[in-house]
């Protein structure tokens, strides 16, 4: 739980300065080095789930090449973004767009990916954003059900791809529909 608390502390400090939290990837290495990468909301990002996976794949590739980071060096990844959250008793009662619901709550959604020698585990955390006047605070982190997301596996695939030249990267990317399948 230590890494999530560190990430939430950094997220809160960012929100206090900016008034919001842009989508970001946090990378934690075995040496306890921490990187914070802002995700640019480009046209690719706004093309849905596949566009977001591709954007994170390219971000992971660029990051790994610039910082000389390999997947073996990474112990945890976090994707943090603001979101609207609505709770319902039954899954089928969940709205398509929580932003339109009167009982919505503003939250930070934190997708966590922990890597081990032979394992990769993903978790999702929901943290209420509390705004009062000019003050921003975060509620307690609530661990949710196991997520089905390819965002951070896409980022990790980008880190793996940093070892390939541009030609090999394009050939492999053309063969796969799902960027997490490298």
- 28, 75 contact by CB (below 8 A): yes
Looking at the DSSP bridge assignments, the partners of residue 137 are 130
Containing structural domain, residue 102? 2-181
pLDDT in tens, 26-73: 999 998 888 999 988 766 676 777 788 888 988 999 999 999 999 999
Residue 85: partners with Cβ closer than 8 Å, 6 or more residues away: 98, 104, 105, 106, 107, 109, 126
pLDDT in tens, 90-125: 656 665 666 777 778 899 999 999 987 778 889 999
pLDDT in tens, 62-84: 999 999 999 999 999 999 999 88
β strands within 42-87, DSSP E: 74-85
**How many domains would you assign to the chain?**
1
């Amino acid at each position: 739980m230590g890494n999530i608390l560190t990430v939430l502390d950094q997220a809160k400090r960012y929100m206090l300065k900016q008034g919001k939290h842009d989508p970001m990837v946090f990378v934690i290495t075995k040496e306890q080095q921490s990187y914070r990468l802002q995700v640019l909301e480009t046209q690719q990002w706004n093309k849905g789930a596949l566009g977001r996976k591709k954007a994170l794949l390219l971000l992971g590739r660029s990051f790994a090449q610039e910082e000389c980071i390999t997947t073996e060096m990474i112990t945890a990844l976090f994707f943090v973004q603001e979101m609207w959250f609505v709770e319902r008793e039954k899954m089928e009662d969940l709205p398509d767009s929580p932003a339109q619901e009167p009982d919505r709550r503003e939250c930070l959604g934190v997708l966590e990916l922990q890597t081990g020698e032979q394992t990769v585990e993903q978790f999702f955390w929901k943290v209420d954003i509390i705004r009062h006047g000019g003050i921003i605070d975060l509620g307690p982190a609530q661990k949710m059900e196991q997520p089905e997301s390819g965002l951070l596996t896409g980022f990790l695939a980008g880190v793996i791809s940093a070892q390939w030249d541009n030609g090999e990267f394009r050939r492999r990317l053309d063969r796969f529909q799902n960027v997490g399948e490298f």
